[in-house]
C-alpha cells in the first residue's frame, strides 16, 4: 500500500490511446501502477468486444472494477487499507470520466 505524499504528485500517462495528466497524493510509481492496471483491464474488455466504442469499454471497465469492490465489501474483506484503495479508485474513475466526457462534448 502506498503512503500518502506530503504534496500532490503529477504524472502523465497514456491509457487506452489517450494521454492523461494524473495528479494525486500517492507516489508517482503507485499512480503509474494503477494506470497500468486500468490499461490492462481496458485492453481485456476491448479484445472481447472489438466493435465497442472507447466510451462503452471504459464504462464496462468501471462497472467491473466497482463489482469487484462491492464483492469485497460483501465478503467483509475491506479494511482501513482497502478503504483507502476504494477512495483512490473513485478518484481515478472520476478523472477517467472527466477525460471521456471531454472527448465526447
Question: Would you state the pLDDT for residue 74?
Answer: 78
Tell me which residues of the chain have a pLDDT lower than 70.
1-6, 77-81, 99-105
DSSP letter for each residue of 40-81: HHHHHHHHH-TTS-HHHHHHHHHHHHHHHHHHHHHTT---HH
Residue 102: what pLDDT?
52
Task: Report pLDDT digits (tens) over 6-28.
Answer: 588 889 999 999 999 988 888 89
Predicted local confidence at residue 10, as pLDDT: 86
* Distance of alpha carbon 52 from alpha carbon 64, whole angstroms: 16
What is the separation of C-alpha 78 from the centre of its chain, rounded to a whole number of angstroms?
18
Three-state SS for 4-45 is CCCCCEEEEEEECCEEEEEEECCCHHHHHHHHHHHHHHHHHH
Grid look-up 469499454 returns: 57
Alpha carbon distance 1, 85 (integer Å): 8
Cα separation, 98 vs 44, in Å, equals 22
Amino acid at each position: 500500500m502506498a503512503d500518502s505524499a506530503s504534496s500532490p504528485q503529477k504524472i502523465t500517462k497514456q491509457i487506452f490511446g489517450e494521454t492523461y495528466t494524473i495528479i494525486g497524493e500517492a507516489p508517482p510509481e503507485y499512480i503509474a501502477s494503477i494506470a497500468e492496471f486500468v490499461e490492462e483491464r481496458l485492453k481485456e474488455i476491448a479484445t472481447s468486444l472489438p466493435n465497442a466504442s472507447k466510451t462503452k469499454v471504459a464504462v464496462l471497465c468501471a462497472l467491473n472494477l466497482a463489482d469487484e469492490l462491492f464483492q469485497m465489501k460483501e465478503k467483509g474483506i475491506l479494511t482501513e487499507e482497502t478503504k483507502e484503495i476504494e477512495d483512490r479508485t473513485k478518484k481515478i474513475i472520476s478523472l477517467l470520466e472527466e477525460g471521456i466526457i471531454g472527448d465526447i462534448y
